[in-house]
Structure 1
C-alpha cells in the first residue's frame, strides 16, 4: 500500500488569512486594552482561547467540514453585524468599529480565496499536509488566541468599563 504524498506548500491565501487574524487581534488589544481579570481567570482565558483558535485553524487548514462551516458562519455574522452597526450606528460608530469591520471583510475574503486553492481541494480529497508547512501557521493561530485571551474586556460592578490602552505618536 502506498502512502499519499503530502500536498505542497501552504498557499499565499492561508498566510494572508493568518496575518489578518493576528494583526486584527493586535489592533483589538490596542483599542480594548488588557483585561482586568484576576490572574487565574486570565490564565484560563489565554489557554482556552489559544487551544480553541489552534483547533479551528487546524480544521480550516485540513479542510474539515464542521470547523470550516463554523468559521464561515462566524466571519459572515461578523461582517453582517458590522455592516448593520455601521449603517445604523450613526454618531456612535467609531473608527475602531470601521477597522474591525474592514478586518472581518478581509478575513472572509481570504477564507474564500483559501477555499478556492488547489491545496484546499487536495486536502478535501484526503491528501495529508506536511507538518512542517502547517506548524508556523498554527503557531500564529496560538499567538492570536493568546492575545485574544489577554484582550477580552472584563466588566465588574465596581468598574463597568474595560481597561484602555493607547499609543500616541
Structure 2
C-alpha cells in the first residue's frame, strides 16, 4: 500500500513552508490528489515531483517554464490523468443539460404567467378607479345641481320684515 504524506510533512522534507507547497500545488492544478476531507495528500511520486519543482525554481526557472517543460517527472501520474468521457458520462451530461433547459423554460413560463396575472390585476384596478372617478363626478354634478336649486329657492323666497311681523303681532294682541 502506498504511503501518503501531508502538506506539512512535504514542506519539512523540502525545507520550505507549507504555504509555499500550497502555492505550488495551486499553480500545478490537477497534478496532486486530495483526501475525502479536501486536503492534499502526496504519494512518494508527488514528493519527487515537488522536489523537482523546488530544484527548478532554485535554478531560476519560473513556474510557467517548469509547467511547459516536457520532463516526465513533472507530468501527473496515470492515476490523475483524466480519461476521455465514457458513454455514461456523456449521457449524464446530456441529461443535465436537458434538465437545465427544462428548468429555465419552466422558470420563464412561471414569470410569464405572473406577468399576465399582474396585468389582469392592474386592468381590474384601472377599471375600478375609472368607475370610482365616474361615480365621484356624478355625485359632484348632483351636489352642484342641489346647491343651485337651494340657492335659487333661497333667492325666490321673500324675506319677511321682522319689524312688520313684530308690529303685526302687537296689533293683533290689541
TM normalised by structure 1 equals 0.21
Higher-Rg structure is 2
TM normalised by structure 2 equals 0.21
